[in-house]
Chains A and B, each alone.
Chain A
Amino acid sequence: MIKRNGLVTTVIIIITVILQTTIFNRFSFHNVKPDFVLIIIILISNYSGSIKGQLTGFVSGLIEDFLSLSPFGFSALIKSVIGYLSGKTEGQIFFDPIVVPIIFVFAGTIIKSLLSFLLLLVFSPAKADAVFSITLLIEAGMNIILTPFIYYILKLIKVLPSSNSSRIS
């Protein structure tokens, strides 16, 4: 059993969002950045359940919205839904270090784009076309490459359980 509370998760999320807007910008490929926050939400939610998952998603989305040009609540909604869906698999799918997290993160990236497209159609139609482009493929590719590394880092700092089979109740 791992001791983890909302405060630790929130701190990790805040640090990740800040790093994503500053230092991690330097690691973009063709001006496309990976979504570190999305990966972390998916991995944490899968071990914490849908309630914690969606709250983690909502808080991280709000922080992103503070720093973004997007309508306030845009990322909060998307990340809440992804946290919820990922959290629903708690105790049902056991994570191996590579394959399952990659599948989850790939699916999460597609769901994020789908929700972004639907919301943008309503709130910012000029941006909707930009969602399903080569950017999505590059981002999905970067996300799945980074997932095993982030998975190991989260395990290392004991945010995720060190044993593959252990779960958080």
Chain B
Amino acid sequence: MTELRKTVTKYKSILLLVLLIVISLFLMGYSSGKYNFLPKKIGNSIFSLLQITVDSTSNFLTDTVDSVGELKKLRSEHGILLEKILEYQIRDRDYIEVKQENIRLKKQLDFKISSEYIFKSAEIIAQEPGNIFKTIVINRGTADGIKNNMPVIAYQHGYQGLVGKIIETSPLTSKILPIFDNTSYIAARLLETRYEGLINGSGSKNDLLLMNYVTKNAFESLRDGDLVVTSGMQSIYPHGLYIGRIRGIYSPEWKTSLILKIEPVIDFSRIEYVLVLTGEK
């Protein structure tokens, strides 16, 4: 017994390491592939509170510093904007008329009127601690009705672009799997030529997405800059959401389909707010 104690004392450091490795491997094996592993969910809920606090404090301080300089700018912009409001009020009247006419014409042509989505706006508050996995954390969770697999979009440069989908939720925060993650797959369609394919992330914000399984017959009709949208073939993403634009067309001899390089509509390094599509009206 004393011998055993001596041995344990002598090798306690390495024994502890082995124990910690075994615990870690057990946890990894048990939780692998499960986004809603309970202990992780509880820990995430607790630490996400701290993330919200830190992000809010940081934003408050940044806004306070910025606001002094911005006051001057706002005064001059105020006058310009008042004039623009008048202009837009006139345009709005025209828009309503055009919209009503559009609905009427669509009915005549027997087109299905595209449904509008119910969404929750959210702010990005945190990202992954490391560089291998890619998630975006937003300040909306199950308390706001957010559930796993809900699509997430954002508005940039006049386009509503696809950001990703919700993969993990806690009461106050949710994690988004962005479309550039290399475990993200999206059924896509070329907006003009209607060819279908599957978009896969490349793993980095800076790299282009890859669109596979586009038939080689499409080669001649594709152009650089063509828009790619969700096809709606997956139940997760509704059809017609902008994903990106073609930035490269490749037809390798060893493949039966084309490989397209797609530049996302959304610039992920500048994204601050997103919209979670929670349902359809």
Interface residues of A (CB under 8 A from B): 14, 17-23, 25, 30-33, 35, 37, 49-51, 54-55, 58, 61-77, 80-81, 84, 87-88, 116, 119-120, 123-124, 126-127, 129-131, 135, 139
Main secondary structure on chain A at its contact with chain B?
A: helix
B103 within 8 A of A: no
Q: Are B43 and A80 within 8 A (Cβ)?
A: no
Chain A residue with minimal CB distance to B46?
A66
- A residues near B20, Cβ cutoff 8 Å: 54-55, 58, 76-77, 80
Q: Are B47 and A66 within 8 A (Cβ)?
A: yes
Q: Are A67 and B13 within 8 A (Cβ)?
A: no
Q: Are A63 and B135 within 8 A (Cβ)?
A: no
Residue from A37, A71, A75, A76 whose CB has the most chain B CB atoms within 10 Å: A71
Choose one: B28, B31, B133; the contact of A119 (CB below 8 Å): B28
Binds A, one of B70-78, B200-208, B230-238: B200-208
Q: Are B21 and A64 within 8 A (Cβ)?
A: no
Please judge, given known A-B contacts A17-B129, A18-B51, whether A76 and B17 are in contact too, CB under 8 Å: no
Interface residues of B (CB under 8 A from A): 12-13, 16-17, 20-21, 23-32, 35, 37, 39-40, 43-44, 46-48, 50-51, 54-55, 58, 125-135, 137, 167-168, 175, 177, 182-183, 203-206, 269
Could you show 8 A-B contacts with beta carbons less than 8 Å apart?
A: A22-B54, A22-B55, A31-B204, A64-B130, A70-B133, A72-B37, A77-B21, A130-B132
